[in-house]
Amino acid sequence: MNKFLLKVEGLRTYYDVEGGEVKAVDGVDFSLKKGESLGIVGESGCGKTTLGYSIINFVPPNGKIAKGRIQFDDMNISAMPEAELRKRIRWKKISMIFQEAMNCLNPFYTVGNQMIETLQIHAPEIKRDEAEELVRRSLKTMDLGTDVIDMYPHELSGGMKQRVVIAMGLMLDPEIVIADEPTSALDVIIQARILNMLKNLQRKLELSLILITHDLSIISEVADYVAVMYAGEFIEYGPLYEIYKCQSHPYTHLLFESIPKMMGKQSLRYIPGIPPNLKSPPYGCRFHPRCPYAIEKCKVKEPTRTKLTKNHYAKCHRIGEKLW
Ligand code: ATP
Ligand code: SF4
Ligand code: MG
């Protein structure tokens, strides 16, 4: 199937803050077909969560989609009235597993009650016995038994809590799931198990998955495409295997270099400096104050996207030079 399920064009999402605006998402474009997965990777504060919120049009009150268009299955959902979005799109077509959601489970409610309450909020038309069935079914999808229904969050391990949270996101059979750092609070073994489950589910249910993470090694487990985000922009985008084989942007290269390697004696590299303040990002290339390959031009001129292959581009003035 060649049709895009989701198409994001020229998206800019800004927050109003004292004395200005934080340009958290600043010109993002991508599209996703049914069953495809996109991994969005970048350091803390680069705008990953804001991008997720924007896709479901659920930006915090001091923020707004300032420009751009989000199309889901022929509908312009960025211009859709809130009531219609709630009724037709959020959770039913596109659900988001929020960052830190497992820590936000209510300690005073059983898992079953919280899941049913969530269903009642997002799909009030569903009757109680149907809701109970949906809860059982989605828990089973995440390999959780029905005994979990009567348990309280403190009775569950971290991995089980995270699976409950993912099950909640799947209850209404969405076509797209946005998972924001779904495994970052878990140890590596549990992390691998949950990623594996997500990947299997994605294949079985033909889900489109947007996985948001600061950890590049996680992306490689799940994604077909990778978007490397820096200071509100995608600075490199392409198929996972191409980016793995050949990183074209210095920041992507440094991200790869900073993955701990099990074998070999190379010392661990890190990215120098700190991410920029998005209220006043650097002029020219936003990465120039931290880039070991920066030249004068980088300080004054913003790079445009250079197309490397059909679906692969990067934003850097020095593409084509052998820098590393
Ligand atoms: P992390 O990896 O830490 O979760 P992130 O990539 O998800 O970071 P966002 O949470 O989207 O980044 O934040 C992007 C930028 O927007 C940051 O500079 C952040 O401080 C700012 N920001 C986020 N939420 C708000 C808000 N409600 N008001 C003002 N600024 C905000
Ligand atoms: Fe580095 Fe210049 Fe490329 Fe930016 S444009 S990533 S500063 S070399
Ligand atoms: Mg975030």
Buried b (16+ CB within 10 A) or exposed e, 288-316: bebbebbeeebeeeebebbebeeebbbbb
Check residue 264 and give its pLDDT. 60
Helix axis angle for 111-122 and 128-141, nearest 10°, is 120
Give every CB contact of residue 65 below 8 A, 6+ residues apart in sequence.
11, 12, 13, 54, 57, 59, 78
β partners of residue 67: 12
DSSP 205-256: HT-EEEEEES-HHHHHHH-SEEEEEETTEEEEEEEHHHHHH---SHHHHHHH
C-alpha 270/C-alpha 266 separation (Å) is 12
Q: How far is the CA of 98 from the centre of ligand 3 (A)?
A: 9
Separation between Cα atoms, residue 232 and residue 27, nearest integer Å: 7
Q: Which ligand is nearest to the CA of 46?
A: 1
pLDDT of residue 252 exceeding 60, the answer is yes
In short, whether 66's Cβ falls inside 6 Å of ligand 1 is: no
Q: How far is the CA of 41 from the centre of ligand 3 (A)?
A: 10
User: Average pLDDT, stretch 202-212?
Assistant: 94
pLDDT score of 2 more than 70: no
Cβ(46) to ligand 1 under 6 A? Answer: yes
The whole-number pLDDT of residue 49 equals 98
In this prediction, residue 185 carries a pLDDT of: 81
* 44 CA to centre of ligand 3 in angstroms: 7
Q: Which atom of ligand 1 sits closest to the CA of residue 277?
A: 18
pLDDT digits (tens, 9 = 90+) for 96-116: 999 998 888 999 999 999 999
Q: What is the reported pLDDT for 249?
A: 97
Whether the per-residue pLDDT at 63 is higher than 70: the answer is: yes
User: In this predicted structure, what is the pLDDT of residue 241?
Assistant: 95
Q: What pLDDT, on a 0 to 100 scale, did the predictor assign at position 1?
A: 56
Q: How far does the chain reach from its first CA to its final CA, in angstroms? A: 38
Q: Is the CB of 288 under 6 A from ligand 2?
A: yes
How crowded is residue 134: how many other Cβ atoms within 10 Å of its Cβ? 20
Helix (H, G, I), strand (E, B) or coil at 90: strand
Within a 10 A sphere around the Cβ of 48, how many other Cβ atoms?
A: 25
Protein residue closest via CA to atom 17 of ligand 1:
45
Distance 47 CA to ligand 1 centre (A): 6
Q: Tell me if 17 CB under 6 Å of ligand 1.
A: yes
Instruction: List Cβ neighbours of 40 (8 Å cut-off, separation of 6 or more).
Output: 48, 51, 210, 211, 212, 213, 226, 227, 229
CB atoms within 10 A of CB 173: 14
Q: Looking at the CA of 280, name the nearest ligand.
A: 1
State pTM to two decimals. 0.96
Task: Inform me whether the pLDDT recorded for 235 exceeds 80.
Answer: yes
Ligand 2 pocket: which of 228, 235, 254, 287 to mutate (most atoms <8 Å of CB)?
287
Tell me the two tokens of residue 9. 């064009």
Residue 111, SS3? helix
Pocket test for ligand 1, best of 17, 46, 230 (most atoms within 8 A of CB): 46
Most informative mutation of 12, 21, 48 for ligand 1 (most atoms within 8 A of CB): 48
For ligand 1, is residue 48 a contact (CB within 6 Å)?
yes
CB atoms within 10 A of CB 39: 25
Q: Match 């889901």 to its residue by tokens.
A: 72
Centre of ligand 3 to C-alpha 221, Å, is 20
Of 8-22, 227-241, 250-264, 275-289, the range with the lowest mean pLDDT is 250-264
The tokens for 280 are 């006043």
- Give the Å distances, CA to CA, from 207 to 108, 165, 276: 32, 17, 34
Name the burial class of residue 109, with classes exposed (0-12), middle (13-18) and buried (19+) by CB atoms within 10 angstroms of its CB.
middle
Residue, of 228 and 259, whose pLDDT is higher: 228
User: Max CA-CA distance within the chain?
Assistant: 66
Please report the pLDDT score of residue 265 as a whole number: 58
What's the pLDDT at 274? 93
Instruction: Tell me the CA–centroid distance for residue 140 and ligand 1, in Å.
Output: 34
Q: Average per-residue pLDDT in the chain?
A: 94
Give the distance (Å) from ligand 1 centre to CA of residue 24: 7
Strand ranges (DSSP E) for the chain?
A: 4-17, 20-33, 37-41, 63-72, 75-76, 94-97, 176-180, 208-213, 225-230, 233-239, 305-309, 312-315
